[in-house]
Amino acid sequence: MREFLKTKGFKMTAQRELIFRSFFEMDKHVSVDELYDKIRAIDNSVGYSTVWRNLKLICKVGLAEEVNLGDGVTRYDPVTKVPHGHLYCLECKELVEFDVARVIDFLSVVAGDRDFTPEGYKIEIQGFCSKCQKARQKLAENKTTN
């Protein structure tokens, strides 16, 4: 990692190492706040802006992407080998990935047809995960019976 960053003209620091390591250890799409909390639990001298800047840096060097779900919070998604879409639960905010290779095949044709040069794709399904959906149904039943 140190070498990788050096080739891009960035230095390695203790904070940066901690932030990078922690980011890739989390198995979900974290917000700045979430990662900051995790970092602070380990070293409470690290500043919020340092966490923020390093998340931005991770994106800049191509190791993650920002994800905007429209709830006002930016999340960071580690770039995996396979392009993927998101199942986003409107209730518990859980984010699950799924493969979108086939969708992207289709979308690149759409883009080509319109002389559009694609740089990235965003494919999201918003709704309710099975757990939250069950809870909602139970709630709805209670409402009608009362």
Partner DNA sequence: ATTGAAAATGAAATTCGATTTCATTTGACT
Partner DNA sequence: AGTCAAATGAAATCGAATTTCATTTTCAAT
Give me the residues that bind a copy of itself (CB under 8 A), please: 66, 68-70, 74, 85, 87, 89-90, 96, 98, 102-103, 106-107, 110-111, 114-130, 133
Q: Cβ of residue 79: shortest distance to a copy of itself, in angstroms?
A: 15
**Residue 122 interacting partner from DNA, a copy of itself, none (CB closer than 5 to 8 Å by kind):** a copy of itself
Closest CA to 51 of 61, 37, 62, 64: 37
**Residue-by-residue DSSP string for 16-43:** HHHHHHHHHH--S-EEHHHHHHHHHHH-
CA distance 145 to 6: 65
Site string for DNA, 15-44 (x = CB under 7 A): xx--------------xxx-----------
Residue 7 or residue 117: which is nearer to DNA going by CB?
7
Say whether 11 sits in a helix, a strand or coil.
coil
CB under 5 to 8 A by kind: which of a copy of itself, DNA, none does 42 bind? Answer: none
Residue 115 Rama label (left phi>0; alpha psi -120 to 50; beta): left
46 binds, among DNA, a copy of itself, none (CB under 5 to 8 A by kind): DNA
